[in-house]
Amino acid sequence: MVSGKSWIAAAALGSAAFLAAYAGHASAQNTPWNSAVVERSPDWYASAAARAVADGVLQYPSAAGGWQKNTDLSVFPPRPDDIAPDNGRMNTFDNDGTTLPMEYLARVFSASGGNEYRSAFLKGVDYILAAQYPNGGWPQFYPLRQGYYSHITFNDDAMTRVLTLLDDVAHARSPYAFVDPTRRARAREAVQRGIELILRAQIRHGDTLTGWCAQYEVESLEPAWARAYEPPSLSGAESVGILRFLMRIESPSPSIIASIEGGVVWLRAVAISGQRYETFINADGQSDRRVVPDPDAPPIWARFYELQTNRPIFLGRDSSVRYALAEIERERRVGYHYYGDWAHALLERDYPAWRARLSR
């Protein structure tokens, strides 16, 4: 099995030797690469199968120390282009990029050792710390890329995943006890700056705290556009991830408590009742999505709320704001989640548990 070598270095072994190593790796693991890879029992990470997956993960970090997204990191890359710096997927915090492989390598190292896993993780910590803006935010990609990729990015929980990982490192929580004191201290400082950024970025309606946007301009902290159908708006999805992160902070300050309470009140106020979000087959025999009246349906939330009115808004690829899902093209209706139950567990489980901890 090839361990700790890049695709190119492994290929230098010779085609026959490399193919044998590649086949051995592929046969040793049957673990799909998704968020569930960090939810196994602790003992599993000491297994040969877990180390085989980790050896795959080691093939992908860039020279800067970050990983790519939308890639099965559990298997060796079939082609050099799969780990090329210009493949458009490299060096990102989007879609579990960088943070998930780091979480996984930490678990394998803590369970079974392997300095190559530890070294890649620590280089990832350095990469994350280098990527933070002075004001406390993180971009979607680093090194920076032109366009919305360099906005401060909460979209798809990118920044909150980074903060959660760094917070665990800072407190030496399992499986990160192996991280040295210097990096733990730097992680603690980075988390504090990130929290300050979150508090500054929370949208106010007058004196009332509400939710957050998916992305912000770096200098002005103004809500920003991302893709053509992702406008400056209050987010019914990303606000949940931010609140969940704030709720895990030990001994929260009065400003953090006020931020959480304001966000929870806002989520309750914008919940949509009596409507069911469903997939159906339309008259043309195509899969489609719609909302239909249903008095028994549990509450749902819109992905985008108009900044000043809290009205749900919907945009297709023409970037025109509309107030009904049916008014945008089918391709976007089925290709994007404009509604979801994102806040349900937060309001019903996480928030009451957080309030109970505060009262102890």
Catalytic site residues?
95, 227
Q: 């209050």: which residue's tokens?
A: 234
Which 3 state secondary structure label does DSSP give 68?
A: coil
User: Which of 317, 310, 315, 335 minimizes the C-alpha distance to 325?
Assistant: 315
CA dist., res. 95 & res. 66, Å (int): 13
Amino acid symbol at 181: P
Q: Which residues pair with 305 in a beta bridge?
A: 234, 312
| Spatial separation of the C-alpha atoms in residues 64 and 85, rounded to whole Å | 10
Residue entry with tokens 């280089």: 123
Q: Helix, strand, or coil here: 277?
A: strand
Beta-ladder partners of 141: 92
SS3 of residue 305 by DSSP: strand
Q: Can you read off the two tokens belonging to residue 185?
A: 């201290």
Q: What is the CA radius of gyration of the chain?
A: 22
Backbone angles phi, psi at 65, to 5 degrees: 115, 0
Helices H / strands E in the chain, number of each:
12, 12
**For residues 71 and 91, is the Cβ–Cβ distance under 8 A?**
no
